[in-house]
Structure 1
Amino acid sequence: MKQIIKRGSFLTLMFMLLGCLSLYAADNDLITEQITIKSEKAGTLPDRIASSRKYKITNLKIIGEINGTDLKMIREMAGSNSYGGSTDGKLSVLDLSEAKIVEGGDCYYSNYYTSNDVIGSYAFYGCSGLTSLTLPAGITSIGDYSFQYCSGLTSLTLPAGITSIGSYAFSNCI
Structure 2
Amino acid sequence: MTGLVLHSAATASAQTSADTEAELWGVIKDSKDTRFFTYYLLLFPDGAHAGLAEERRSALEREDAVAAAKAAHSNIVELRARHILVRDEAEAEEIIEELKGGADFAKLARSRSIDTTSGEAGGDLGWFSRNTMVQEFADAAFAMKPGEFSKVPVKTQFGYHVILVEEARYLQE
TM-score, length basis structure 1? 0.22
Larger radius of gyration: 2
Higher relative contact order (CA 8 A, sep 6+): 2
TM-score, length basis structure 2? 0.22
Higher helix share: 2
